Amino acid sequence: MADKRLVNQKLLNCGYTTGTCAAAAAKASAEMLFSKELMDSVSITTPNQTKLTLDVLNPQFNDKTASCSIEKDSGDDPDITNGILVSAELTLVFDSQDIIIEGGKGVGRVTKPGLDQPVGESAINSVPRKMIKDSLNSLAKENDYDGGFHVLISVPKGEEITKKTFNPELGIVDGISILGTTGIVEPMSAKALADSIKLEINMISAENNESILIFLGNFGKKFTIEDLNLSTNPGIMCSNFIDVALDSSVEYGFKKILLIGHIGKFVKLGIGMFNTHSNNGDGRIETLLSCALEAGANLDILKEIQNCVTTSAVLDILWENDLLNKTMVILKNRIEHNINKRIPPEIEVGFICFINTGDYSGILFESENASNLKEIWSK
């Protein structure tokens, strides 16, 4: 694709996710059924409003079923799924208005609670499912079609590829996940991204700023805008490189730093892991297990936690057993201790950790100075 990002003084190509591929294949299949013509390309708009035109491979259709494939392009991001085919087989269902989306060969199945989809469901995440449904609803309206659709997503090499991913540890079996929150794959070369973070922080510093927001991913930035109602400038996205962002902020003279992130990354700070990439280890469940033990969790609860594969699943257990607040206080104190060990005492660092799902959605914990620091970015 033509979209590029400037990373370490180099223009790197962006790619698109397996979710975008699945949605594009489903849309192309529907367009073939409505137009009664084979498709060689399909246009789709991703959740971050990037417009793509993708090649359609292996197109075929009959009276009520069509299928095709889209080749995954990861751009300049090192990704094991680059070049795989994501296929959709779409069938018109005339006696229903439902859109049923299922995974076929090579698409993983969820076997443990706490993931984006329930146990037993195909590992096709909620954003790709919404992309598929939005495209099909739009086409149905354009073509005066009042029936439903059955969509079967498959990945021919999925069972082979998943052995080289973390899916088995997460409880996703028999294939890969169909993923993506923005629809676009950003180039994420570790050294290039670290250098880019340093460069951006230097540029913000050059504008005579003494305060900086550090977002631990897209969710952090979105939460800042929509839930905290704060400005995001001056701020920077650090992804997994919390260490680089913190150290560079100190080196370039910032006096006040506010970290905002989802519990999925933030929890790793509880064991002093400031580069949160999975290649460097995990420790999320173990950290929460230890904090829950200190908060008074009994053996049965600890065993439940030990079997979890996501932080959200752990938080559900803690919430159900009235242990969430106590556990989060303990985690907050550990994170504060680890940050203070890293950052000079004359630099003021605060943090806000949140969750965007569950009955307890919102801020899970924040440092005592977070309220004052938020005023800097108050709109």
**DSSP-assigned letters across all residues of 110-160:** E-STTSSS-TTSBSB-HHHHHHHHHHHHHHHHHTT--SEEEEEEE-TTHHH
Query: For the whole model, what pTM was predicted?
Result: 0.63
pLDDT at residue 151 above 50?
A: yes
**Are both 206 and 316 inside the same structural domain?**
yes
Convert the pLDDT of each residue in 162-179 to its tens digit.
988 778 877 899 999 999
Domain boundary among 158, 185, 212: 185
**Domains of the chain: total:** 2
**Are both 201 and 74 inside the same structural domain?**
no
**Are both 295 and 308 inside the same structural domain?**
yes
**Are both 349 and 206 inside the same structural domain?**
yes
Distance from C-alpha of 24 to C-alpha of 40, rounded to nearest angstrom: 12
**What is the percent of the chain where pLDDT is above 70?**
93
Within 8 A by CB and 6+ apart from 49, the residues are: none
Convert the pLDDT of each residue in 298-339 to its tens digit.
999 999 999 998 899 999 999 999 999 999 999 999 999 999
What pLDDT is recorded for position 194?
77
Q: Which residue has the tokens 């706490």?
A: 114
Q: Is 242 helix (H, G, I), strand (E, B) or coil?
A: helix
Q: Count CB atoms within 10 A of the CB of residue 246.
A: 23
Model confidence band, residue 188 (pLDDT cutoffs 50, 70, 90): low
Domain boundary among 161, 185, 209: 185
Distance from C-alpha of 285 to C-alpha of 318, rounded to nearest angstrom: 12
**Are both 14 and 91 inside the same structural domain?**
yes
Model confidence band, residue 109 (pLDDT cutoffs 50, 70, 90): very high
Strands 256-262 and 57-61: unpaired
**Are both 222 and 159 inside the same structural domain?**
no
**Are both 219 and 304 inside the same structural domain?**
yes
**Are both 335 and 197 inside the same structural domain?**
yes
Beta-bridge partner residues of 122: 109
Domain boundary among 185, 213, 236: 185
Domain housing 115: 4-185
**Are both 30 and 151 inside the same structural domain?**
yes
Convert the pLDDT of each residue in 64-91 to its tens digit.
999 999 999 877 666 788 899 999 999 9
Lowest-pLDDT choice from 111-120, 126-135, 152-161, 239-248: 111-120
Model confidence band, residue 290 (pLDDT cutoffs 50, 70, 90): very high
**Are both 164 and 289 inside the same structural domain?**
no
Of 344, 341, 366, 371, the residue nearest 353 (C-alpha) = 366
**Are both 201 and 157 inside the same structural domain?**
no
What pLDDT is recorded for position 8?
44
**Are both 201 and 156 inside the same structural domain?**
no
